[in-house]
Chains A and B, each alone.
Chain A
Amino acid sequence: MKSNDLIELAGRNLRESSFRNSLTTLGVAVGVASLVALLSLGAGLQGLVSDRFSRSGLFNTIGVFTARDFRGMQERERRSGVQGDHARPLDAAARKEIGALPDVIEVYPEIRMLTDVTFQGRTLFTSVSGLSPSAKQNEAFEKMRGRFFSSADADEVILHVDFARDLLAPPDTSGDAVSLPVGPPARNAPEVSDAQLDSLLGKEIVLHYGERQETPPPPGESQGAAPTRRAGGADPPATGQQAAAKTTSADGTSGAADETVSFSVVRREKTLRIVGIIETEPYAGITASSNARVFLPVALGEKLRPALPSNLRDLMQARPSASGAAGETYSALIVRVDDPARVQPTQDALKKMGFRTFSLLDATKSLRRVFVIVDLFLAIFGSVALVVASLGIVNTLVMSVLERRREIGLLKALGASDADVKRLFFVEAGVMGALGGALGVVLGWAIGHAINFGTNIYLTRQDLPHETIVLLPLWLIAGAVAFAVGVSLAAGIYPAARAARLDPVQVLRYE
């Protein structure tokens, strides 16, 4: 029998016992609704967490380092043939090349320094970090006081609220400079009012830093002399100090083509306007913003050319870090890709380029694994109702076989094969499953929205923002209906087989 005839006959049969079949279909619908409601809750919570992480920028960010920075990997390097001393430098050319990789939307250097900040005559020691423009998407800036940077290199800073409180605290009379804990948030931070915090906006702080200036090698040092340390004098307008190093060959001995690299550190001050105060740490990069208390635009940070610890390390390792001739190198570059799914291919490409990389991809995988397990449990609990409903289908169809013995016998006498009879019952089971599945999705959606509505009422009472904790993605709709049909077809196996086994001779003789 052709499919359209089968469906037509099945539909006719279902209509003939409409009340009983409707109840059975409703049973399937309730089962599917429980499954959909639980899984949409799982999907919603997953979406909520994924969204938070996605907006934090952690999962589409890769830290890129030069290969020699990983001492623990030296053994692996030797095995792989990548010698740290020959590792590719993380310089401007590399930055440009990385920026040209597909999927990369942003490359910026890690800028972080421990330095002094002066505010209204008081000097505080703190950690300063560069923030890229994309950090604006971070959740930390959603409910900030003030605003984000007006431009990529504006003379502006955003303060962490702990540091803002320290700025407003009464001056410590024990000394001129106040040393503050740099890392973890100050638990005993002084109490200040919202109005006091707001009063900081628009005011100025002075950032003290050491500017790195390339200096030509002193005469005679390029001939293989030992690196010298030149004491800086009182160069107006600031004090300078020069350091120099010569490059060495791989075996550590000075080569014939020695090149001395050197730079001066000149003390500078930069006045910056406070434009915002944030409550939470933005984690805009892998390491850059961690535990920082003062944030400035990363482009401004680059322009200031601050002497960073990595410059000194480069100097000690005799790398042409601050040499104008060899070009600037970075301690680390932060690479952002357009989609967390593109992190792995980009990491692979960066590794091929000879760099070390770090991302939270593994953490994402763990998170996904947790959600898969949670979803699995929700699906199992949700499926219980559907399995119970499938027993209803078995019962309905077995009853139907008993009631329709004569009809089945007649169909066989008229030329229906066993397979035709089986398919007829399968179609009936499938139609009940499909209708129940569709109705169940609607019911599940309604239950999910009721849960969402109730949750948001609770959140409102707790003075918390509204959240969407229930999501009904297309895959769940299609999957739920397909699952309902599948379970219904499985439930139809026994009744269909029983119908196909009926002996038409016996049935037509005695019915």
Chain B
Amino acid sequence: MNNGNSQPAAIHAENLRRHYVMGETVVKALDGVSLEIRAGERVALVGASGSGKSTLLHLMAGLDRPTSGTIETQGHNLGAMSPLELAAHRRSTVGMIFQAFHLMPRMTLEENVELPLRLAEMPREERPARVREALARVGLSARAGHRPGELSGGEQQRAAIARALVNRPAILLADEPTGNLDSHNGAEIIRLIGELNSALGMTVVLVTHEQNLAAEFAERMLVLSDGRLAEERRLAGAQTGAAR
């Protein structure tokens, strides 16, 4: 449950399985994964398409429930939580960014970033400062009043990162955040996530199929194959990890 320190692991999974029944076929998206991620650690989940990395990320986010095994964040068993508790977990413990950004197209950036604060029922008067702070961290203060359609892909993903940060979660879960970006913008986003990890101390789990990118960013790389943890690599020369 913990790695020798009194502080519980940020994420702990034990013999985690997620099977989907599709007619008579059972698809084993995850099949007995055990892992532990320390608080503040930068971890990359890599693997081919269908290897189970996104499924594992969704289980960490509390968007899905395991078929068997346990998954815990900060010592709390997500499998035992009620739907309301899982919703609270998604609001307060984790922040998510997606490959497709998933910004509300008719909302301005600041309205998009404010959305998690609305869900968390933060008092209205406290929200603007938090939104400004989050947008400043990703360098989009000047674009606060713009709609997503008026921004480049990289800017949209930075806005999505600001939205994920605004509730100050302990864990940032990034699902292929560079998948829709060119290499330059992709590198910028990875650098930004690394900086946030260093500045805020949040645990970051990055799902990617680009092993080079993972190697640049992460302290540790977990390779998934056919729903199993095939390999675990410790990485020394992470790009933004030099500050740590």
A residues at B contact (CB < 8 Å): 1-2, 4-5, 9, 12, 16, 406-407, 410-420, 504-505, 508-509, 511
Contact = CB atoms under 8 A, between A and B. Distances in A.
Given A415-B87, A415-B88, A420 B119 contact: yes
A160 B83 CA distance: 82
Given A5-B118, A420-B119, A505 B64 contact: yes
B102 interface: yes
Interface string B68-87: 00000000000000011001
Given A411-B119, A414-B96, A415-B91, 9 more contacts: A5-B118, A9-B118, A406-B102, A414-B90, A415-B87, A415-B120, A417-B84, A504-B63, A508-B100
Contacts of A16: 106
Contacts of B100: 508, 511
Interface of B: 54, 58, 61, 63-64, 83-84, 87-88, 90-92, 96, 98, 100, 102, 104, 106-107, 115-116, 118-121, 124, 163, 167
Contact of B102 (A2, A9, A417, A508): A508
Most B CB within 10 A of own CB, among A406, A407, A415, A419: A415
Q: Is the interface of A mostly helix, strand, loop or mixed?
A: helix
Contacts of B107: 12
Most B CB within 10 A of own CB, among A12, A16, A505: A505
A2 B91 CA distance: 14
Contacts of A9: 118
Nearest to A8: B118
A12 B111 CA distance: 12
Contact of B91 (A406, A410, A414, A505): A414
A505 B115 contact: no
A414 B115 contact: yes
B104 A407 contact: yes
Given A1-B119, A9-B118, A420-B119, A415 B102 contact: no
Contacts of A505: 58, 63-64
Most A CB within 10 A of own CB, among B88, B100, B115, B124: B115
Contact of A412 (B63, B84, B106): B63
Contacts of A418: 83, 87
A413 B121 contact: no
A4 B90 CA distance: 22
B148 to A, nearest CB: 12
Contacts of A2: 118, 121
B155 to A, nearest CB: 18
Contacts of A414: 90-91, 96, 115-116, 119, 163
Nearest to A4: B124
Given A12-B106, A505-B63, A415 B116 contact: yes
Contacts of B98: 508
Contacts of A509: 54
Contact of B87 (A407, A410, A416): A416
A1 B102 CA distance: 20
A316 to B, nearest CB: 87
A413 B63 contact: yes
A410 B119 contact: no
Contacts of A504: 63
A511 to B, nearest CB: 8
B48 to A, nearest CB: 16
Contacts of B116: 414-415
Most A CB within 10 A of own CB, among B118, B121, B167: B118
6 contacts: A12-B107, A16-B106, A414-B91, A414-B163, A420-B87, A504-B63
A507 to B, nearest CB: 10
A417 B87 contact: yes
Contacts of A417: 83-84, 87
Contacts of B92: 415
A508 B61 CA distance: 13
Most B CB within 10 A of own CB, among A12, A416, A418: A416
B160 to A, nearest CB: 10
Closest 5 CB pairs of A and B: A415-B91, A417-B87, A415-B90, A5-B118, A415-B119
A505 B102 CA distance: 13
Contacts of B64: 505
B118 A413 contact: no
A20 B60 CA distance: 39
Most A CB within 10 A of own CB, among B61, B102, B120: B102
Contacts of B120: 415
A411 to B, nearest CB: 7
